Amino acid sequence: MKIYLIGVGMGNPDTLTLAARRAIDESPVLIGAPRLLEPWREGHACVPLIAADDIARRIEEEREDVAVLLSGDTGFYSGAKKLWKLLEGRQVETIPGISSLSYFCARLHTSWQDARIVSAHGRSHNAAGEIQKNAKTFALTGGATKAEDICRELVRRGLGKVRVSVGERLSYPDERIVTGTAAELAEETFADLAVLLAENPRPVERPWNSPGLPDGAFQRGAVPMTKEEVRAISVCKLRLQPHHIVWDVGAGTGSVSLECALACPAGQVYAIEKNPEAVALLEENKVRLGAANLVVVPGTAPEALSHLPAPDRVFLGGTSGGMDEILDLVFEKNPAARVVCTAVTLETVGEAARRFAALAEADMVQLAATRTRRAGRYHLMDAQNPVWIFSGEGKGHDA
């Protein structure tokens, strides 16, 4: 008995390879989703099953050759992956098909080797974040995340002008492909099983892999700013991952916010600042560095934090005496959040030392940096204020 695992493309028999067509013709029993079995009901015993475990159990009952029809390509988000393990020791031949990715890009006259590939089908996925950080992104949609949901999230992130193409019923006579801006397509309604290709001309990118943007990269004015050396160590202490949600409380000019935004291209950074002059500089620096994933939040903590999504990481650059209330809110929203705080006054040092001593993996470091400055043909040492850097995380932390 032979078992075929066949990629049948989008479902239209015209997209089958000759090898796939021959294997179907030779197999008395066909198993697969009802949509895929529909063209082959004459001359075959068709068994509508989708779950890999159910398919494997049914194959155990068969004595004749069986062909399992799988949508798209057997190597592209396919049920073949689980079936290979379940059918170990059996005579299995896998026949690849045309994936929705390959077909869709061919219809759009574009390549796909340079695309970031994600699946938001049947799961909640930060597809908008992937589009934010990549020049070209292909997404399978459906279930918890539909194509219009992704477009609406792009608009919310200020990426409404990103060019998006959505495909429905690919390969069938009623195939529909729509192209427009994310803002335009956000008003559409698409089928549950649709594919999406987004092209972002200005993805969020860090100019190099590590933190350490020079102070001159930011517009500053008279607003306080976390200096380059302290900022680099603080960002390292945050232990950021690309998908993280970050709060920067007392963001000032946004130097830490922007370092975090560039380090979390698929995440979101919220810069909370009460000084109107600083808020204006934040917006200016956001545009200057192309950080579409940075949201400026005018207001005073902790009040301005209550409506924000739960953070993975928090940087406290200024608390105005409200450290206890802010940390209580942080750990209420996410008991496992990691927090980094800088302090320059003795009062703040004492407050932070007391509070961070109770956190997991608490770390307290004093940094004293000295820069050189020119004086004619000489260079003098110019000591910066010593800064304490506190870091730690709440209970149940998982980086």
Domain closes at, from 79, 98, 117: 98
Distances (CA, A) of 73 to 7, 78, 81: 5, 7, 11
35 plus 160 within the same structural domain? no
Domain closes at, from 137, 164, 199: 199
Distances (CA, A) of 280 to 164, 275, 285, 298: 31, 9, 9, 10
127-166 pLDDT, tens digit per residue, is: 888 898 899 999 999 877 899 999 998 998 888 999 999 9
pLDDT for the residue numbered 209 = 65
Structural domains in the chain (count)? 3
Phi, psi of 83 (to 5 degrees): -65, -35
262 plus 312 within the same structural domain? yes
143 plus 179 within the same structural domain? yes
Domain of residue 135, residue span: 101-199
* Helices (runs of H) and strands (runs of E) counted in the chain: 13, 19
Distances (CA, A) of 124 to 28, 150, 183, 237, 337: 39, 11, 21, 29, 21
Q: CA 147, CA 134: separation in Å to the nearest integer?
A: 17
359-390 pLDDT, tens digit per residue, is: 888 889 888 888 788 888 888 888 778 889 99
256 plus 369 within the same structural domain? yes
72-129 pLDDT, tens digit per residue, is: 999 999 999 999 999 998 999 999 999 999 999 999 999 999 999 988 765 556 788 8
In a domain, 250, yes or no: yes
46 plus 154 within the same structural domain? no
The CATH number linked to 351 is 3.40.50.150
DSSP string, 115-133: -EEEE-TTS---HHHHHHH
In a domain, 69, yes or no: yes
Amino acid at residue number 40: W
291-341 pLDDT, tens digit per residue, is: 878 999 999 889 999 899 999 999 998 777 789 999 999 999 999 999 999
The CATH number linked to 23 is 3.40.1010.10
Q: CA 284, CA 58: separation in Å to the nearest integer?
A: 62
316 plus 360 within the same structural domain? yes
